[in-house]
């Protein structure tokens, strides 16, 4: 059965410290231990795919509405509902995302720089050489599978980290459908 999770967007502050940039993450360890599975929050969130960061925005420009505002960095986490609820209630820099918002952020901001396909040039060159030399035919399963990005054989493979839907499927996650939770004072 798939694990239902809630996507949350986190505004991560960026501050100068000793001449370097430092990221100011919310201290999720302030959340009750039970919602963190008794773990340090950084290990707990890794159980659900870890951080997805905005890789498009340069933190010194305003790149809104979808990206990181100046002086911040946007990150996304997929977390269980009780963690999401507690984080939204405690931290003003945390907000819930819909499944669509999470997909747009993931595919357009977090993985836009990634290639659609991962190619093992050594395998593909070897296959091509063997076809050219007549050792393999174009219809040989090894050739067909190596060229098919949806086959797991070495060669050309679809990048399963590129699209949000693929990431969810690969990890056995779904996004829980519910009305977006707002902070109690909103």
pLDDT tens-digit map of 86-130: 999 999 999 999 999 999 999 998 898 889 899 989 999 999 999
Domain identity same for 90 and 127 = no
Domain identity same for 91 and 125 = no
Enclosing domain of residue 146: 117-156
Domain identity same for 88 and 122 = no
Domain identity same for 15 and 87 = yes
Q: How confident is the model at residue 73 (pLDDT cuts 50, 70, 90)?
A: confident
Identify the CA nearest to 3 among candidates 79, 99, 95.
79
pTM value is 0.80
Domain identity same for 73 and 136 = no
Tell me: pLDDT of 81 over 90. yes
Domain identity same for 91 and 123 = no
How many domains does the chain fold into? Answer: 2
Tell me: pLDDT of 182 over 90. no
Q: Give the per-residue pLDDT at 65.
A: 56
């Amino acid at each position: 059965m798939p694990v239902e999770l809630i996507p949350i967007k986190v505004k991560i502050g960026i501050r100068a410290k000793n001449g370097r940039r430092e990221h100011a993450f919310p201290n999720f360890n302030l959340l009750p231990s039970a919602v963190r599975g008794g773990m340090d929050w950084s290990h707990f969130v890794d159980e659900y795919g870890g951080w997805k960061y905005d890789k498009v925005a340069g933190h010194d420009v305003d790149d809104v509405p979808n990206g990181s505002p100046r002086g911040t960095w946007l990150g996304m986490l997929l977390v269980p509902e009780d963690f999401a609820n507690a984080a939204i209630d405690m931290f003003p820099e945390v907000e819930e995302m819909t499944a669509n918002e999470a997909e747009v952020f993931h595919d357009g901001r977090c993985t836009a720089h990634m290639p659609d396909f991962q190619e093992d040039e050594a395998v593909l060159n070897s296959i091509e050489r063997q076809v050219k030399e007549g050792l393999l035919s174009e219809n040989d399963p090894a050739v067909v599978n190596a060229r098919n990005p949806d086959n797991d054989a070495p060669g050309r493979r679809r990048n399963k980290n590129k699209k949000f839907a693929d990431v969810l499927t690969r990890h056995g996650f779904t996004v829980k459908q519910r009305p977006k939770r707002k902070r109690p004072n909103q």
